[in-house]
Chains A and B, each alone.
Chain A
């Protein structure tokens, strides 16, 4: 049984990290980061089997790829608090000479990152490649990936979705963050995605849905369920409904905070709603 108190403390602290990171440099993407906080915290602290330290090959451990790279703040905070690099380094987010680039990259050697992402729609192909390498290596660990829902408008995803099913890449769990928002507005207004779960199903994936991706219990249960469905001939997809901006009342129910940082006053309000738990960086 997971220690939900500890996970919840981490979730709250990560939300503070995200808000403070984007506020400091007045740039970055808080909305999607806040919406996926429970997912990242659960994945790295409850679900994935990880070795100590970091190496690029990731043999004999689970590996994760973030395809929608703009939600780098939540990725960086969770990696730092998992011990991949010093928590203080979150201070350097988006600054010159930093390893914490606006979008994640391997270029500066940041531990925990295995491919650059940000130009959308590429992560699933990379995750499939890593999953194939695991099979060739006789490594029975899993590959996880996260994708924005708007990102599914990129055609490369559907090449990848077709390939993964056709080639029985059943050591892959791809999660879609179904927050229904993208830069120009609601996904269903910009370019309707329709029934995402059904689309994956007809392409030959095993699909499960998490109704509330901001409920830790549902996330943990859903990810465990997804793991139990691997190795059965089909790639596994989780369609996870989240609330963009979750945890900060004025950032929810709007796409306005997709790529906008809070000002001083807004930060104070937002932090008050997420009181310090594990210590700010």
Chain B
């Protein structure tokens, strides 16, 4: 089992903030918008260094998405950021018409996604955003796994022309990918090679998958772990190469099993290589208040749940 070291827990939203700081210094066309959540999105440094390139829109997310679309006309690269719930469901039609259908180069950057938002409860814990965003034609959908990868992704999407949904979270989690990584949109990352089962994970569940894989390896099970940071476009060939070898899959995501990464993987499998799959995801439910750890335990989204899913899927091979 390949070893990964937690370089010290950090929140992925701070990775976004660090990426924005760098973009502020390197790309004069990058502008930032925020809807009254500057502190939560960690973009204070960008604002301090580039006050003329920051637009505080207040608690008005629909207007923020429209202004972002307009800023692209004239060559700006807007990064519009707020909580994932307000960056997607609340403004779906604005994104659909003014950004996606109009092919505007807007980066929708969404923090506090999923259950790990914690104590604020289900009103703020969106578990449907990946589904909504991946269904929009032309939208790129990215869910990086840690601080370093979120920073790298933030920098990378500025160079990509077209609308992007970048999803990240609130809590401090293991930071284990390389600080100097080059982020390639649409490229699956092989974290551990194995032959019995493939775990395909995104976001916070990638680290949990590595913990589960280590325990499974100790039980004599050979586990392949793939980090899918880009849910759309999906790296079909990497997925197929792995399942042709292992013959079964566990998908892991902090999202509803309807519409998320798991269903995207199911499409690939059903089309090219049918085989057993188990879903680690929420089961068509809303969340609730609690600590991130309690919620991930209760809703079956931690390393223990992944381990159990692997044992289940192996029996179905």
Contacts and interface: CB of A to CB of B under 8 A. Distances in A.
Central interface residue in A119, A133, A137, by most chain B CB within 10 Å:
A133
Contacts of A58: 73-74
Contacts of A116: 97-98, 101-102
Given A107-B102, A115-B102, A118-B97, A133 B71 contact: yes
Contacts of B78: 129
A92 interface: no
Interface stretch (B61-69, B162-170, B187-195, B263-271): B61-69
B244 interface: no
A252 B31 CA distance: 46
A130 B71 contact: yes
B156 interface: no
Contact of B70 (A118, A127, A139): A127
B76 interface: yes
A59 interface: yes
A125 B62 contact: yes
A125 B73 CA distance: 12
Central interface residue in B53, B62, B96, by most chain A CB within 10 Å:
B62
Interface string A140-180: 00000000000000011001101100110000000000000
Contact of A137 (B66, B75, B93): B75
A126 B69 CA distance: 6
A266 B232 CA distance: 51
A229 interface: no
Contact of A115 (B53, B57, B62, B104): B104
B236 interface: no
A68 interface: no
Contact of B74 (A105, A136, A160, A166): A136
A126 B70 contact: yes
Central interface residue in A119, A129, A137, A163, by most chain B CB within 10 Å:
A129
Nearest to B78: A129
Interface string B58-100: 1010111111111111111010000000000000011011100
B103 A119 contact: no
A139 B97 contact: no
Nearest to A114: B73
Contact of B75 (A57, A107, A166, A167): A57
A122 interface: yes
A132 B57 contact: no
B92 to A, nearest CB: 11
A136 B71 CA distance: 10
B159 interface: no
A117 B101 CA distance: 10
Contacts of A63: 73
A196 to B, nearest CB: 19
Nearest to B98: A122
Contacts, number: 119
Contacts of B97: 116-119, 122
Interface in B94-143: 94, 96-98, 101-104
A162 B62 CA distance: 13
Contacts of A163: 57-58, 60, 63, 67
Interface string B279-313: 00000000000000000000000000000000000
A156 B67 contact: no
Nearest to A118: B97
B72 to A, nearest CB: 8
Contact of B67 (A65, A105, A118, A132): A132
Nearest to B76: A133
A116 B93 CA distance: 12
B180 interface: no
B31 A136 contact: yes
Given A122-B97, A137-B74, A129 B67 contact: yes
Interface of A: 56-59, 63, 65, 105-107, 114-119, 122-134, 136-137, 139, 155-156, 159-160, 162-163, 166-167
Which 9 pairs between the two chains have the least Cβ-Cβ distance?
A: A129-B70, A125-B66, A133-B74, A159-B63, A159-B60, A129-B67, A126-B70, A130-B70, A129-B71
27 contacts: A58-B73, A106-B102, A115-B69, A115-B73, A115-B98, A115-B102, A116-B97, A118-B97, A124-B66, A125-B62, A125-B65, A125-B69, A129-B66, A129-B71, A130-B71, A131-B70, A133-B70, A133-B71, A133-B72, A133-B76, A136-B31, A136-B52, A155-B62, A156-B94, A159-B58, A160-B67, A163-B57
